[in-house]
Amino acid sequence: MNEREKVLDQYSGRVFKNRKDHIIELDEAGVPQVIAANSRSIPGLMVNRGCCYAGCKGVVLGPIADAVVLTHGPIGCGFYSWGTRRNKAKPEGEGAKNYLQYCFSTDMQEPDIVFGGEKKLRQAIVEIMEIFQPKCIFICSTCPVGLIGDDIQAVARWVKSTYKIACAAFSCEGYKGVSQSAGHHIANNGLMKEIIGSGQAKNSKKFAVNLLGEYNIGGDGWETERLLKQIGYEVVSVFTGDGSFEKMKNAHTANLNLVQCHRSINYIAEMMKAKYGIDWIKVNFIGIDETIRSLRSLAIYFDDAGLKQRTEEVIADELAAIEDQRQYYRSRLTGYTAGVFVGGSRSHHYQNLLLDFGIKTVIAGYEFAHRDDYEGREVLPDIKPDADSKNIEQLSPVADEAHYHLTLSKERFAELQNEIDLETYHGMFREMADGTVTVDDFNHYETEKLIELFQPDIFYSGIKDKYMIQKSGTPSRQLHSYDYSGPYACFTGAINFARDTYMSISAPAWKYLTPPWLVSSTLEGSIGGTENA
């Protein structure tokens, strides 16, 4: 029995039949493996997945600091997604407001469910306008709203015509799709329809980029932006960490989209290509080598001598600044093994960062990834839509003549595709070694079992399993919140990560798990009736 079979051994009948396709053991590097993903979780299995609302409001819209995000539903969903995701923001400019410290909800009550909640939603917006006067409102539905049929799209139209402000409604009821992933897609659609391109700016700057799928957890986005600006790029907007609706309006003016989190934002990248002709490139600013690769890819894309030179200078400066610490942590961490189970893109990104310090990933997985996140976008044509994915609107925007602008010629584009990750993503499997196991939509039992089988030195996951893992004697760190540390992006971020990892593994308290009296008796023996021996 190999490791994969040992995990599956516990399951009977239908659960086995379902789960066997979600657990993959890589045997020969390079052999394509097919994994089942983005399909329904099995009821009763303690999964880590959240819901559509969590992906839409929590992940994509939540970080946009200058918009009021109004949750239409009972109080819980708004409350849980208030200030809990570390998407830092510091709105700039006169009168810029930061609504991240606020939670707005219609707090629906029983009569609203019975008689409809639209009236209350409108009244809530009247009150928002009276008290806060925002320039942008996003309305997000929770489960009951879709069931009782409140027309939030109509309310959004009413807001726009009555108040002359931006407003978008997101029907992201929790039951839609199979995980957070559906919510990402719905949020992408809404931003594309209502926000992107609604500004009046024209494409003018030469090296103008959008950073997509960077949520500024622990300040990652700020660290990435710092380097990009130092090299000479103009960052038009970030989706959506420290995000600004005012900046996103003009996202269409960029020349290139940089995609950090493929899972949550690839829809916008594709739609902006169709509508505005903007190319996208898969980057990864987690990991030292990966950051270097990403920066060089950008320089190759723009093919500007000055830019290339500054890229190399910045890389050299950053490397020099971290060299001693890099060597130190590498010497301390080389040889350790890790498990990485988080999100829909991070498990891949962090394997690169771990390798920078000599740590091998032996088990990995995602909560809500699709097949392309594991196997690469090459498999996209093979993915058959199912009942759950068909329910999520698929937009096909057409070219916007006024704003369409190609940066590269067709020939140059084709040429570059062989050189850099231009509009492609090769997935996580490619990075993983023989004998490693990948689990899609991992659950509590599988987590326990994998730790028992692989005994990794450290396990990166989230808050729901962190304390269970630590209780099993294995150091665990949260890769959603970085355990309130960070940034982990780029060069200095890599050192922060290594420092935190080393701290977790080497905590003196691990030595005290077993009390001394359980290994050596405190009771002195008496032999042959000798008293007080």
Partner 1 sequence: MLEATPKEIKTRKALRVNPCKTCEPVGALYAALGVHRCMPHSHGSQGCCSYHRTFLSRHFKEPAIATTSSFTEGASVFGGGSNLKTAVKNIFDIYNPDIIAVHTTCLSETIGDDLNSYIESIDIPEGKVVVHANTPSYAGSHIVGFGNMMSGFIKYLAEKSQAKTDQIAIFPGFVNPGDMRELKRLAKQMQVHYIMFPDTSGVLDAPNKGHYEMYPQGGTTVAEIRGLGAVKRVLALGEVTCTPPAMVLQAKCGVNFTALPLPIGIEATDQYLMELSRLVNTEVSDSLTEERGQLVDVILDAQQNFAKKTVAIYGDPDIVLGLTAFVLEMGMIPKYILTGTKSDLFSKRGEALFAKFGVSGCQALNNEDLFTLHQLIKNDGVDLMIGTTHGKYIARAEDIPLVRAGFPVLDRYVHSYMPLVGYRGAMRLLEMICNALLDRRDRDAADEDFELVM
- Smallest separation, CB 391 to partner 1 (Å): 6
> Using the 8-state DSSP alphabet, how is residue 397 labeled?
P
| By the rule CB under 8 A, 82 interacts with partner 1 | yes
**Count of residues that interact with partner 1, criterion CB under 8 A:** 88
First to last CA, the chain: 53
Q: Is 78 in the site for partner 1 (CB under 8 A)?
A: yes
Tell me phi and psi for residue 213, to 5 degrees.
Answer: 70, 35
Distances (CA, A) of 515 to 403, 467, 519: 69, 20, 7
What's the min distance (Å) between Cβ of 462 and partner 1? Answer: 8
Among 214, 225, 457, 465, binds partner 1 (CB under 8 A): 465
Kindly indicate which of the ranges 103-111, 316-324, 348-356, 404-412 contains the residues binding partner 1, using the contact rule CB under 8 A.
103-111
Report, in Å, the least distance between residue 240 CB and partner 1: 19
Per CB under 8 A, which of residues 166..225 are in contact with partner 1?
174-179
* 105 belongs to the binding site for partner 1 (CB under 8 A): yes
79 binds partner 1 (CB under 8 A): yes
The tokens describing 154, both together, are 């109509």
Residue list 125-164, contact with partner 1 (CB under 8 A): 126-128, 130-132, 142-144, 146-148
Report CA-CA distances (Å) from 511 to 322, 409, 505, 508. Answer: 31, 61, 11, 6
3-state secondary structure of 510: helix
Q: Which of residues 490-529 bind partner 1 (CB under 8 A)?
A: 513-514
Nearer to partner 1, 513 or 533 (CB): 513
464 is a site residue for partner 1 (CB under 8 A): yes
Give the shortest CB-170-to-partner 1 separation in angstroms: 14
**Cα separation of 67 and 167, whole Å?**
9
CB closer to partner 1 out of 68 and 432: 68
Burial of residue 261 (CB within 10 Å: 0-12, 13-18, 19+) is buried
For residue 140, report the phi and psi dihedrals to the nearest 5 degrees: -120, 130
- Taking the least distance from each CB to partner 1, the nearer of 187 and 495 is 187
Nearer residue to partner 1 within complex by CB, 384 or 410: 384
Q: Which stretch binds partner 1 (CB under 8 A): 96-104, 190-198, 265-273, 340-348?
A: 96-104
What residues contact residue 205 under an 8 Å CB cut-off, 6+ apart?
234, 236, 253, 255
Among the candidate windows 21-29, 341-349, 416-424, 462-470, which touches partner 1 by CB under 8 A? 462-470
Residue among 265, 487, 263, 469 at smallest CA distance from 366: 263
Total length of the chain: 533
- Binding partner 1 by CB under 8 A: which of 3, 7, 88, 106? 106
Q: Alpha-carbon distance 489 to 335, whole Å?
A: 23
- Is position 101 an interface residue for partner 1 (rule: CB under 8 A)? yes
**Tokens (6 digits) for 393:** 């609107």
Residue 89 to residues 94, 101, 156, 238, 407, Cα–Cα distance (Å) = 15, 10, 25, 11, 31
Of 433 and 467, nearer to partner 1 (C-beta) is 467
Q: Which of 98, 327, 417, 526 binds partner 1 (CB under 8 A)?
A: 98
What is the secondary structure of 312-339 as a DSSP string? HHHHHHHHHHHHHHHHHHHHHHTT-EEE
Minimum gap (Å) between residue 372 Cβ and partner 1: 22
Indicate which single residue of 4, 7, 35, 53 sits in contact with partner 1 (rule: CB under 8 A): 53
For residue 378, give the nearest of 38, 33, 36 by alpha carbon: 33
Position 94 contacts partner 1 (CB under 8 A):
no
CB of 74 to partner 1, least distance (A): 4
Pairing of strands 360-366, 234-240: unpaired
Q: 312: which 2 tokens?
A: 């190399």
Nearest to partner 1 of 69, 353 (CB atom): 69
Beta carbon of residue 16, minimum distance to partner 1 (angstroms, whole number): 11
Contact stretch for partner 1 (CB under 8 A) within 38-46, 195-203, 303-311, 349-357: 38-46
Spatial CB neighbours of 194, under 8 Å, sequence gap ≥ 6: 166, 167, 168
Q: How far apart are CA 526 and CA 533, in angstroms?
A: 6
At its nearest, how many Å lie between partner 1 and the CB of residue 263? 17
Hey, which residues between 275 and 334 contact partner 1 (CB under 8 A)? none
Q: In this chain, which of 2, 109, 309, 394 binds partner 1, going by CB under 8 A?
A: 109
| 449 binding partner 1? (CB under 8 A) | no
Q: Are 423 and 280 in contact (CB under 8 A)?
A: yes
Q: In the complex, what is the shortest distance from the CB of residue 375 to partner 1, in angstroms, rounded to a whole number? A: 24
Report the distance separating Cα 492 and Cα 325, nearest Å: 10
Instruction: Give the whole-angstrom CA distance, residue 294 versus residue 299.
Output: 9
Residues 153, 198, 472, 492: which binds partner 1 (CB under 8 A)?
472
Question: Which residues does the annotation mark as catalytic?
Answer: 51, 54, 85, 184
- Find the binder of partner 1 among 64, 108, 187, 298 (CB under 8 A): 108
CB-based contact 168:191 (threshold 8 Å): yes
| List 63, 73, 213, 487, residue binding partner 1 (CB under 8 A) | 73
Q: Is residue 44 a contact residue for partner 1 (CB under 8 A)?
A: yes
Contacts with 322 (C-beta within 8 Å, 6 or more apart), sequence order: 288, 491, 492, 494, 495
Which parts of 365-394 interact with partner 1 (CB under 8 A)? 387-388, 391
